[in-house]
Structure 1
Amino acid sequence: MDRMNGKTALVTGSSRGIGRATAVKLANEGVLVAVHYAESRDAAEETVTLIEKNGGRAFAVQARLGTPGDVGELFLGVERGLRDRTGSPTLDILVNNAAEVAPRGIAPEDVTPEQFDRSFAVNAKAPFFLVQRALPLLPEGGRIVNISSGMTRLAVPRQMLYAMTKGALEQLTLHFARHLAPRGITVNTVAPGNTDNGNPVFRIPEVAEQLAQMSAFKRVAKTEDVANVVAFLASDEAAWITGAYIDATGGTLLG
């Protein structure tokens, strides 16, 4: 469609899952995408290959979020990659997708200080400083999309820690939306529900069926379902939406 032709984006955690689907979707819209990964360069390169097979443009950048120097390391690679390909470090779109998550959760009684600190470092601290670092590169009309979770609207004790970090991310959306509005930069939250991101749990029929029943549509989301919402918020058509919490749970929160 090329409706965002010439734009640039950084999608954190885009070597797999929702991040990969988002990177592919944006690239299909004409965006040059920096594909961030923490550990698996092979997985990131698979994302880049998928994009290039469809005629898009992308490059991989590595940084382990939640560690000292993470943001500086990531943006060193992002700016170098953008300059090499466009002659400018301008970043039009930032998608904070990377997250630390325990798929089956952790009972509140079992959470350690180390787990607590690590989760907040990746899911809340890193996005804050990524936005801060991106501010000089974001032009008028830039886009920031934060990937939260429908879990912040449900009481699931084993997911308490994860939900707390995503609640913090939603506050980042709210306050940066007000702060950046004078520059025409929008900041929004997308909250997925049960999404088949390749986790083995979705290959267990009885578990997958149980998760599907939570959605009003009685199915588990595909990563593309969420990526389509992110791409809309990153487009010019969404210029009048900021500070919003977009429920992308497939009606899970309807009750």
Structure 2
Amino acid sequence: MSNTLELFNLQDKIALVTGATRGIGLACAELLASQGATVIISSRKQESCEQVAAQLQASGLKAVPMACHLGELDQIEALYRQIEERFGRLDVLVNNGATNPHFGPIYDTDVAAFQKTVDVNIRGYFFMSSLGSKLMAKNGGGSIINVASVNGVIPGLYQGIYSITKAAVISMTKAFAKECAPMKVRVNALLPGATDTKFASALVHNDAIRSALLQHVPMNRVAQPSEMAGTVLYLASNASSYTTGACINVDGGYLTV
């Protein structure tokens, strides 16, 4: 039993979770911290990061707030300088922060919404992974987990540009996995289905849309954020030591229909 538990032990590991102040990111941060990791709580607003870090600390967990806007390259670079100066290492990166400013017909997407979605969901993930993999390699390797979406496989209705960026994240995951393997950096992706978060509220809290969506979900329900965190823990830990380039669907069976 102890050997099984040891597979998921993250004691002395440094983990960075973006978009960590709510939803899937918060659930992941809580679970990684519960397994012994020091979790860097990152999101756009420092105040929100501090609030979540304080909550985890009050529960006896190790958490550090570090704000970063994923759409701003200078902030990404500053975040990594801060991590290296404070910890000297990074073992786990969970690329979870994302944006979806346009919900409507794809042909009505304006330039501002297009650019913001691409900047955060593609460029942000890319440079977080680029800098993260190099820092991990300095200390013997690590694990990058990209939170993509089932929309990257089957585009969501009225979520065109968001779906396009998530398809790019899936491809990005495989490209980084292939090239980072010699550095002992594993790169995998989580593909969540419909999950009850503020981010997905336009879908899951609209009765008509939710009902139509669940017709394609064999488990016939929406997921809770905590149901995504277990896969992230697996990918962050030694339990997945021979897993890289994998894109794991956690979707209630949506992609099997």
* Both structures adopt the same fold (TM-score exceeding 0.5): yes
Amino acid at match of 2:67: Q
Give the conservation status (yes or no) of the 8 Å contact 1:10–1:78.
no
TM-score (norm 2): 0.88
Name structure 2 gaps, 5 residues minimum.
none
Give the conservation status (yes or no) of the 8 Å contact 1:16–1:43.
no
- Look up the match of 1:250: 252
Matches within 5 A, 1:36-51: 36-39=42-45, 41-51=46-56
Instruction: State the Cα deviation string for residues 157-206 of structure 1 (Å, max 9, x = none).
Output: 41110011111111111111111111221100110010011355445555
Task: Compute the RMSD of aligned alpha carbons.
Answer: 2.0
- Look up the match of 1:131: 129
Amino acid at match of 1:118: K
Asked if 1:24 corresponds to 2:30, the answer is yes
| d(CA) in 2 for partners of 1:165, 1:131 | 15
Aligned length: 247
Asked if 1:6 corresponds to 2:12, the answer is yes
- Look up the match of 1:109: 107
Asked if 1:61 corresponds to 2:59, the answer is no
Amino acid at match of 2:128: L
Give the conservation status (yes or no) of the 8 Å contact 1:28–1:51.
no
Distance 1:191 1:3, change over 3 A: same
| d(CA) in 2 for partners of 1:30, 1:217 | 32
Structure 1 position 237, deviation (Å): 0.7
Asked if 1:188 corresponds to 2:194, the answer is no
Structure 1 position 68, deviation (Å): 4.5
Range that drifts further, 240-249 or 125-134: 125-134
Amino-acid identity (%):
31
| d(CA) in 2 for partners of 1:206, 1:114 | 29
- Look up the match of 1:241: 243
Amino acid at match of 1:77: Q
TM-score (norm 1): 0.89
Give the conservation status (yes or no) of the 8 Å contact 1:62–1:77.
no
Distance 1:166 1:203, change over 3 A: closer
- Look up the match of 2:41: 35
Amino acid at match of 1:6: D
- Give the SS at the match of 1:137: helix
Matches within 5 A, 1:177-216: 177-199=177-199, 200-201=201-202, 202-204=204-206, 207-216=209-218
Distance 1:136 1:109, change over 3 A: closer
In structure 2, which of residues 65, 70, 75 is the aligned counterpart of residue 70 of structure 1?
75
Range that drifts further, 213-222 or 142-151: 213-222
Give the conservation status (yes or no) of the 8 Å contact 2:152–2:170.
no
- Look up the match of 1:227: 229
Amino acid at match of 2:35: E
